[in-house]
Chains A and B, each alone.
Chain A
Amino acid sequence: MSAKLVPLRRLAGETAELSDEALLAACATGDAAALGALFDRFHEVVYRFAGRVALGDDARDDLVQATFVEVQRTAAKFRGLSSVRTWILGVTVNLARHVRRSDQRRRQREARFVAHVEAAPVDVGAEVDQRMLLARVEQAIAELPHDPQVTFILCDLERLPVPEVARVLGVPEGTVWRRLHDARKIVRASVQRRLR
C-alpha cells in the first residue's frame, strides 16, 4: 500500500508548478500525479459541498471519490468555459443527486437527531444557542429541494459567479437567480423562526 503511495506522491513536486488547466489536461492523458495534484487543490471544496448537501460521513467520502474518478474520466471534455474549480464542482453536482439517494435513510436519521437537539432547553448558554442556530440553518439547507440547494451552495456559499453556475448546471441565468431567490427565502425564514 505505502509502496504504491510513495511514487505517486513524489510526482506532486513537479505538478505543483502547473496551472489548474494544465493539470486537467495532463489528467486527461491518464497522468496519475496530475490527478493527485487536482485532488490536493480541490478536495476541500468538494468535501465542503458534500457536507452541505447533508450527506453522511461515508456518503461524503463516496461523493468525493466518485467526483475525482469522474474528473479523470471526463477531463478531456473540459472546454475552458469556466474555472477548473467550477467545472469540478459541476461534476460533483451531477453525481450528488445519485449518491444522495443512497444516503437518504441516513439523512432521515440525522434529521431526527437534529430535531431532538432542537427540542432541548435553550437556557444553557449563548454558545449552545448559537450552535443550535447553525444546526437549524444546516438543516434548512439540507431540506431544500435539490436544484435550489445546489444553486444556493454554489452561488452564495462557494461564491461562484452566476454565469458560471448557469453554464455548469446547463440552465439560463434567470433560472439560477430564481432558484437562488427561492433558497434564500427558505434559509432566511429558518433563521428568523429560530430567533423569534
Chain B
Amino acid sequence: MRPADQLAVFVGDALTSGKSRVEIADALAAAGWAPNEVSEAMHAWADTDFSPPVPRPRPYVSARDAFYYGLMFVALAMTAIHLTWLSFILIDRWLPEPGQENNYVFALSSMRWTISTLVVFAPLFLILNARIVRATRADPGKRRSGVRKWFGYITLFLAAMSLLGDLMTIIYAFLNGELAARLLAKSAVVALLAGSVFLYFRQETEGGEDAR
C-alpha cells in the first residue's frame, strides 16, 4: 500500500470512529506528516456529516484510455514533427540564402515522405481528438483518467520545451547577427504550432482537480 493510500484509509477509519476533522489533522501533523499530505488525505473524504464517510472520486487508469490517448499522442507527435520538417523545407526553398547548396532531389523525397505522414496522422489526430472531446463532455468523470493526465502533462512539457528552445534559437541568432527572414519564418512556424499544442493541452489538463 502506498503511504498516501495508507493515510487515506486511516483518515476514513478515524472519521468512522467519530473523530472530528480538526482532531485527525492535528494527530497526523503530530505524527510528522507534512501539511500538503494531511490536506490531501483529508480531501480524499467528502466534508459531510454522513456516516460512514463518503469518499471523493479518485483518478483511475484504464487500458482503453491508454490505447486512445497513446494513439492520439503518437498522432499528434508525428503531425507536429513532420509539419515542422515540411515547413522548414518549404521555407528553405522560398527564402534561399546566397551560396546555398542545391539539394532539391533530396528535399523532394523528404517532402513526399512528410506529406505521406501528414496525410495519415493529421486526420487521425483530429478524429481521435474530436472523439475524446465529445466523450469528455458527455461524461466529465473521464477527466479523472490518470492516463489522460499523464499524456496531457507530457505533451505540455514537450510543447513548453519547443517554445523555450525556439526562443533560445532566436536570441542566439540575433546575437550572432543572423536574424534573417528565413529564421524568423521558421521560428514563427514552431511558435504557432507549439503554442497551439500548449494552449490545447493546458485546457485539457485543467479541471478534474479533485482527482489527485
Q: Do A and B come from one complex?
A: no
Residues of A within 8 A of B (CB): none
